[in-house]
Amino acid sequence: GQNAFTQGMLAMVTVLVIACPCALGLATPTAIMVGIGKGAESGILIKDAEALELGHKVNAVVLDKTGTLTKGKPEVTELIWQDGLVQDQKTLAKIFFALEQQSEHPLAEAIVRHLKPENRGSVQVNEFESLTGKGVQAVFEGKTYWAGSHTILKDQHIPVSDSLQQKVDELQQQAKTVIYFADKNQVLAIVAIADQIKEGSAKAVTELINRGIAVYMLTGDNQQTAAA
């Protein structure tokens, strides 16, 4: 037709200026939304578009243990008191309960469930403090008590009796997590906690390794339980 070149040029410019950016402007956000949505369906939360873009470059993954590789529903299997505490055991159990009740850790919840509601509200601890990655501490009647991992004992130079240490070694060999309850003089009790591995954990880790991704586990637990 007439002015074919001009009409052709206008059509080309129209496609380039309007259609292409419009398609990109729609396609990119749509692809991101679908990608993030698909991730969410599989329990993977993706922060933003940049994280999604960089995802294929990941060559190492660090996984938390409790609640990620394990079910996160730990249960107390044993509570062993230090010999010679029979008279004080009821009061100490109430202090232990009050201490763990204020902690937000899944292991503390398991201990609270095990010590049962009869200990609730019976004693009031003061100056409660959460020690990240270690445990908790609080004061009762002017005396400080601790509950947590072996790191607390190391930091506070609290001794463990030979009989309790023997029990600790046995429990750790069984892949159980050991929590210590202590005052500044000695370990008063130990608690053994078992947390089952999730059904899909081994398969997921194997799949990541098969894709050439290094997998690490991070935990505040003891070496033997972590290794097991």
Tell me the C-alpha distance between 78 and 131, whole Å: 24
User: Residue written as tokens 């100490």?
Assistant: 92
Backbone angles phi, psi at 111, to 5 degrees: -65, -40
The DSSP string of 65-120 is IIIIIB-S--EEEEEEEPTT-TTTHHHHHHHHHHHHHT--SHHHHHHHHHH-GGGT
Residue of 48, 64, 183, 221 marked catalytic: 64
State yes or no: is 169 an active-site residue.
no
Task: Give the Å distances, CA to CA, from 16 to 4, 25, 28, 103.
Answer: 18, 13, 17, 61
Contact 180, 148 (CB under 8 A): yes
* Beta strand pairing call for 214-218 and 60-64: parallel
CA angle 222, 190, 96 (to 5 degrees): 115
Tell me the C-alpha distance between 195 and 176, whole Å: 8
Catalytic residues: 64
